[in-house]
């Protein structure tokens, strides 16, 4: 689905406004996502312990339909992270908006993953396992072969038959796409401990992200300074300019600092 946010217009916005109005929020149903609608969305999100960013995506829609949101990130989780990292709350909101997957779990309740076949090859080498003779969609010197979404678990299960630890280390996990091979660097007991935490809730996904920032002084200082180019390059790699991550982070920060 397309996200609904400030400036959105049309039937989907009207439907949202009717839902909010039915919950007691004073709104005009005009199909225009303006300041009053954004405030109502933020108030609703905060009341349901969601991230109060004023953006309507799958999580907010789930809450509007009465779904269970217990495993989802809350505004309180981001506030704790901001204090721990000594950064502005609006900066944490910006990073959550731009750098997270939006949803840390697939519909089936499994943490979101993306299996990286080129990382699998490197991890097999680290663990002194055979590198050749494996299906190229599972082990390769090149990235790719993605099935996307929950189907990535099919690739992970097959890769586990080759070497379980390497396979778990070769996935990015959760809302913030933290690679499994970072488990030791981030202070987890094992990759299995890391994966078990990722299966718990999105607060654990945020915990992994915070640990990653804490252990990367360049990233940490860039976030504190709101140096979005340095942060985006360190988190996303050299292609960050092509995807405009630094501009997206800056724009999100400016939007959130007005209310966070």
48: domain CATH number is 1.10.101.10
What distances in angstroms separate CA 132 from CA 163, 190, 219, one per listed residue? 13, 26, 36
Let me know: does 171 contact 110? Beta carbons within 8 Å.
no
Cα–Cα nearest to 101, from 162, 191, 174? 174
Task: Indicate whether 190 belongs to any domain.
Answer: yes
Percent of the chain with pLDDT over 90: 80
**What pTM value is reported for the model?**
0.88
Radius of gyration of the chain (CA): 20
- Is residue 57, in this structure, part of any structural domain at all? yes
Q: Is residue 103 part of a domain?
A: no
Cβ-proximal residues to 142 (8 Å cutoff; 6+ apart), any chain:
117, 118
Mean pLDDT of 234-256: 91
- Answer with the one of 173, 196, 219 that is the final residue of a domain: 196
- pLDDT for 137 equals 96
8 and 65 belong to one structural domain: yes
Give the number of domains in the chain: 2
Question: Which residue among 147, 164, 196 closes a domain?
Answer: 196
Q: Which domain range does residue 143 map to?
A: 113-196
Average pLDDT, the chain: 94
Say if residue 61 is in the same domain as residue 2. Answer: yes
Half-sphere exposure of 163 (CA within 13 A, CB side): 21
Q: Does any domain span residue 183?
A: yes
């Amino acid at each position: 689905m397309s996200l609904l946010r400030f400036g959105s217009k049309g039937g989907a916005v009207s439907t949202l406004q009717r839902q909010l109005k039915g919950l007691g929020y004073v709104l005009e149903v005009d199909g225009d996502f303006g300041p009053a609608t954004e405030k109502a969305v933020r108030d609703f999100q905060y009341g349901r312990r969601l991230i109060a960013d004023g953006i309507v995506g799958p999580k907010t829609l789930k809450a509007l339909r009465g779904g269970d949101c217990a495993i989802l990130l809350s505004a309180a989780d981001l506030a704790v992270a901001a204090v721990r990292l000594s950064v502005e709350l609006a900066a944490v909101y910006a990073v959550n908006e731009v750098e997270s997957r939006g949803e840390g779990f697939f519909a089936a309740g499994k943490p979101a993953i993306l299996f990286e076949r080129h990382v699998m090859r490197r991890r097999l080498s680290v663990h002194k396992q055979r590198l050749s003779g494996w299906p190229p969609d599972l082990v390769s010197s090149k990235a790719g072969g993605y099935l996307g979404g929950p189907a990535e678990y099919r690739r992970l299960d097959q890769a586990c038959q080759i070497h379980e630890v390497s396979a778990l280390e070769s996935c990015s996990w959760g809302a913030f796409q933290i690679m499994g091979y970072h488990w030791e660097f981030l202070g987890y007991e094992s990759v299995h401990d890391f994966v078990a935490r990722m299966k718990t809730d999105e607060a654990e996904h945020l915990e992994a992200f915070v640990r990653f920032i804490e252990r990367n002084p360049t990233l940490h200082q860039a976030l504190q300074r709101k140096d979005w180019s340095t942060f985006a390059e360190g988190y996303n790699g050299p292609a960050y300019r092509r995807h405009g991550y630094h501009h997206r982070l800056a724009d999100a920060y400016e939007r959130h600092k007005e209310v966070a």
